Amino acid sequence: MSQREEILSKVRAAIAPNGNHDERRKNLRTAAIAKADGIIPKLPESKKAIQARFEERAVKADATVVFSKPREVANNIAKYLREHNLPSAIRTGDDKRLKTLLRGYESLLEISHGRTYGDDMVGVSHALGGVAETGTLFMESGKDNPTTLNFLPETHIVVINADDIETSYENLLEKLRDKYGAGEMPRVLNMITGPSRSADIEQTLILGAHGPLRLHIIIVRK
Amino acid sequence: MVEITSPEFKANARLAMGDGQLQQALGHVRTNFINKRAEAKANLDEFDELRDSATAIKDHVLEHLDLYLEKYEEKVIASGGHVHWAATADDACKQILDICRSVGAKSVTKGKSMISEEIALNDALSAAGIEPVETDLGEYIIQLRGEHPSHIIAPAVHLNMDQVRDDFIKHHTHLPADRPLNEPETLLREARAILREKFLNADVGITGANFLIAETGTSVIVTNEGNGDLTQTLPKIHIVIASIEKIVPTLEDMSQIVRVLARSATGQDMSVYTTLSTGPRREDDPDGPEEYHVVLLDNGRSSMLGTEFQDMLRCIRCGACMNHCPVYHAIGGHAYGWVYPGPMGAVLSPSLIGVDKAGHLPNASTFCGRCEDVCPMHIPLPKMMRHWREREFEKHLSPMTQRASIRGWAWVAKRPFLYRMMASASARFLWLLGGVNHRIKSLPFAWGWTRHRDMPAPEGSTFMSQWRERQARDAGDL
């Protein structure tokens, strides 16, 4: 007997020795059932309140947040880099939204494209969306926004559309399901809440463990 | 196998209580974790409803575990990943070694995983000539020291900063010995720089999993440092090692449980990184592993299903039970003598390594009930510890003197007249012994108590006789 069969038969013998497995299969939870049963913390519904809550929670998680008009995104990135004494070189993927926002600002920002191997100081990515409940960003893997940009550079700047900020994780998960199909996922979905940190030495919280030291979020509002 | 010292629990505990350095370090657990969880709970009106919801999800999963495992496996394979089933710790180590050897791996980075501790994976890797590198800061520190985690989410909580500094000076010999290392921050920066090289050079990355999602074939890790993500993103191969009960049905079920996980653990509303991984690198993916493997470990869990210990399989390893446990506060994690400390360890360890070895652990409880109160998954930990005490007694594992005393007590208790006579005599005797202060400084057969503190003396008469007096007085008043 393979180990697979050994484990599965032990499990079956313990929980459903005489079970009709086809019948039992009908009881399995689907996304629809999980959504109907789930407890979703109540939040204010107006767009403005949702965005304000996202900002408040992201800041509570030690990110910095700025609201920006589309044509000011490049300037806001440059300003942030200047304020933190960082060079104006940034690394991004192939995200079309970012390309549009940064087009024409080549004199302000030195932009290179593709994944990083750890020698870039600043990564700039575009988020799929954000969750107001906890100030969490949803980032998809892929060539538009390579996963390495989320983790290797010391400074991570994330651009997000104000309209993509939702109240709950569930709303964004549904969006993901619409985009990839039911039961399908991007290779990696990073749910990110603030910059990396550790409290492993005497429970003293220090920002910047193995991931970014700084997380700056630019919320694009038309 | 990790060396098991659980049978020496009493000696371990005595040493731990006399260890001034450890006691100082444990002070952080007694205050920080408790206050932060309380604050997080207070800030979420739906917290208790979410606990009920999370509990119901896991109960449902355990009743249908075989079917969800099949569904999960099917989805992992469909996304290009591989699934390996491991009945025992040795099986899991062998499978992982085979995968590592397939690419001639020399170095393996590791995200934090208690399952990896349970199967003693580092020993297996080292024996095969493969260097295991722990990358979680706490795990890295204890790996340098040749120790095991003393807490499931804060592995180095038993250490003070000075000890970490000494270890770094001793092991990081390529750096000047007189460099300033007086702040946790400088220590962290040093570890970051050293581990960054290790991340970039590793052949294989191994992580655990907080959840396995059946709907999508996804594994989920929940971390704060970002080390788990670098571990799984940079090398050629990502191996996930997870036990079978980590399954949840859907993405939405995961988000229900995630809402209580970090709040119960560190008191954060959400951990910094919740990462959902599905299969290997895809076409035109610029990064990510070329191979994605999941090792599904049983190692005794299927034997807990259908027993009075099934509820323990709901555990999400948040650590709230040990953060709130007066016994853990007093002795720390290492005294428990195996991988899992605190109340969850006192229930889980006897299931996994046998009550003959870990029988002392469920005895080390005052049954104060705080662990069950704070458990986000409503696991009845004190009740299950009582079950283990019963099993220990049934198997004749408890010492002769203890068994004889319990038998003697039972014989007397079944004879009410005799029992009352003896109880009232001893109440009187102890009252006399208490003197004017009503404290007993030394008591035969109870040295264990009176060596460290005085015993409060009883009132001098039993409840029954006081009740009789009161009845008589009340009747007289009427």
B252 close to A (CB below 8 A): yes
At residue B395 the predicted structure's pLDDT band, cuts being 50, 70 and 90, is confident
Interatomic CA distance for residues A128 and B11, integer angstroms: 55
Task: Pick the more confident residue, B476 or A100.
Answer: A100
A211 close to B (CB below 8 A): yes
Whether B214 and B247 have beta carbons less than 8 Å apart is answered as yes
Whether B424 and B452 have beta carbons less than 8 Å apart is answered as no
Q: How far is B51 from chain A (nearest CA, A)?
A: 10
| pLDDT reading at B1 higher than 60 | no
Phi, psi of B382 (to 5 degrees): -60, -40
Q: How far is B78 from chain A (nearest CA, A)?
A: 10
Question: Half-sphere exposure of residue A212, counting CA atoms within 13 Å on the CB side?
Answer: 29
Distances in whole angstroms, Cα of residue B412 to Cα of each of A189, B100, B416:
65, 63, 7
What is the per-residue pLDDT for B12?
Answer: 95
Whether A183 sits inside 8 A of B216 (CB atoms) is yes
What is the per-residue pLDDT for B250?
Answer: 98
**Range in A50-54, A195-199, B444-448 the model is least confident about:** B444-448
Q: Which residues pair with A125 in a beta bridge?
A: A158
**Range in B225-234, B363-372, B391-400, B412-421 the model is least confident about:** B391-400
| A6 vs B70, B87, B287: nearest CB | B87
pLDDT tens, position by position, B90-135: 999 999 999 999 999 999 999 999 999 999 999 999 999 999 999 9
Chain A residues touching residue B37 (CB < 8 angstroms): none
Question: Exposed e or buried b for every residue in B114-125, given b needs 16+ CB within 10 A?
Answer: bbbbbbbbbebb
Q: Domain of A77: which CATH number?
A: 3.40.50.10420
- The residue segments making up the domain with residue A54 are 21-220
Whether A147 sits inside 8 A of B229 (CB atoms) is yes
> CA triplet B188, B192, B197: central angle to 5 degrees?
160
DSSP state, residue A216: E
B288 close to A (CB below 8 A): yes
Name residues whose C-beta falls within 8 Å of residue A126's C-beta, 6 or more positions apart in sequence. A95, A97, A98, A144, A145, A158, A159, A160
Determine the average pLDDT of the residues in B451-467.
86
Q: Which of A1, A5, A6, A11 to mutate to test the interface with B (most CBs of B within 10 A)?
A: A11
**Range in A82-96, B304-318, B403-417 the model is least confident about:** B403-417
Q: How far is B114 from chain A (nearest CA, A)?
A: 16
Distances in whole angstroms, Cα of residue A31 to Cα of each of A36, A37, A175, B215, B261:
9, 10, 13, 8, 21
Q: According to CATH, where is 3.40.50.10420 located in chain B?
A: 44-297
A123 by DSSP, 3-state: which?
strand
Q: Is the complex ipTM higher than 0.85?
A: yes
- Percentage of residues in chain B having pLDDT higher than 70: 99
| pLDDT reading at B2 higher than 80 | no
Q: How far is A168 from chain B (nearest CA, A)?
A: 9
Whether A38 sits inside 8 A of B53 (CB atoms) is yes
| B138 vs A115, A135, A200: nearest CB | A200
A22 by DSSP, 3-state: which?
helix
| pLDDT reading at B18 higher than 90 | yes
At residue A185 the predicted structure's pLDDT band, cuts being 50, 70 and 90, is very high
Whether A153 and A72 have beta carbons less than 8 Å apart is answered as no
What is the per-residue pLDDT for B450?
Answer: 83
Considering only residues 133 to 162 of chain B, which have any Cβ-Cβ distance to chain A shorter than 8 Å? 135-138, 141, 154-157, 159-161
What is the per-residue pLDDT for B393?
Answer: 85
Chain B residues touching residue A210 (CB < 8 angstroms): 135, 192, 195-196, 199, 225-227, 230
What is the per-residue pLDDT for B161?
Answer: 94
| pLDDT reading at A112 higher than 90 | yes
Considering only residues 412 to 471 of chain B, which have any Cβ-Cβ distance to chain A shorter than 8 Å? none
Chain A residues touching residue B218 (CB < 8 angstroms): 185
B186 close to A (CB below 8 A): no
Q: Domain B44-297 carries which CATH code?
A: 3.40.50.10420
Q: Is residue A9 part of a domain?
A: no
Chain B residues touching residue A202 (CB < 8 angstroms): 25, 28, 160-161, 184
Q: Is residue A15 part of a domain?
A: no
Interatomic CA distance for residues A12 and B95, integer angstroms: 24
Find the distance separating the first CA and the last CA of chain B, reported in whole Å: 72
At residue B398 the predicted structure's pLDDT band, cuts being 50, 70 and 90, is confident
> CA triplet A208, A137, B203: central angle to 5 degrees?
55
Determine the average pLDDT of the residues in B219-224.
98
Whether B69 sits inside 8 A of A21 (CB atoms) is no
Kindly report the length of chain A.
222
Considering only residues 66 to 85 of chain A, which have any Cβ-Cβ distance to chain B shorter than 8 Å? none
Interatomic CA distance for residues B100 and B366, integer angstroms: 46
Phi-psi bin for B396: left (phi > 0), alpha (psi -120 to 50), beta?
left
Determine the average pLDDT of the residues in B444-448.
79
Determine the average pLDDT of the residues in B403-427.
91
Whether A199 sits inside 8 A of B266 (CB atoms) is yes
**Range in A101-105, B307-311, B358-362, B443-447 the model is least confident about:** B443-447
What is the per-residue pLDDT for B478?
Answer: 61
What is the per-residue pLDDT for B445?
Answer: 77
pLDDT tens, position by position, B261-317: 999 999 999 999 999 999 999 999 999 999 999 999 999 999 999 999 999 999 999
| A209 vs B226, B234, B275: nearest CB | B226
A58 by DSSP, 3-state: which?
helix
Mean of per-residue pLDDT scores for chain B: 94
Q: Could you tell me how many CB contacts below 8 A there are between chain A and chain B?
A: 266
Determine the average pLDDT of the residues in B403-420.
91
Q: Which residues pair with A161 in a beta bridge?
A: A220
Q: Is residue A11 part of a domain?
A: no
Whether B225 sits inside 8 A of A188 (CB atoms) is no
Whether A7 sits inside 8 A of B298 (CB atoms) is yes
What is the per-residue pLDDT for A52?
Answer: 97
What is the per-residue pLDDT for B396?
Answer: 82
Determine the average pLDDT of the residues in A199-219.
95
Our count of domains for chain A comes to 1
Whether A137 and A127 have beta carbons less than 8 Å apart is answered as yes
Considering only residues 79 to 138 of chain B, which have any Cβ-Cβ distance to chain A shorter than 8 Å? 79, 85-87, 91, 135-138
Nearest CA in chain B to A152: B230
Whether A41 sits inside 8 A of B249 (CB atoms) is no
Interatomic CA distance for residues B242 and A153, integer angstroms: 30
| pLDDT reading at A51 higher than 80 | yes
| pLDDT reading at B459 higher than 90 | no
Q: Which residues pair with B239 in a beta bridge?
A: B206, B293
Interatomic CA distance for residues B449 and B438, integer angstroms: 16
A23 close to B (CB below 8 A): no
Q: Which residues pair with B297 in a beta bridge?
A: B86, B243
What is the per-residue pLDDT for B288?
Answer: 97
Nearest CA in chain B to A94: B286
Interatomic CA distance for residues B242 and B211, integer angstroms: 8
Q: How far is A181 from chain B (nearest CA, A)?
A: 10
Considering only residues 205 to 234 of chain B, which have any Cβ-Cβ distance to chain A shorter than 8 Å? 215-216, 218, 224-227, 229-230, 233-234
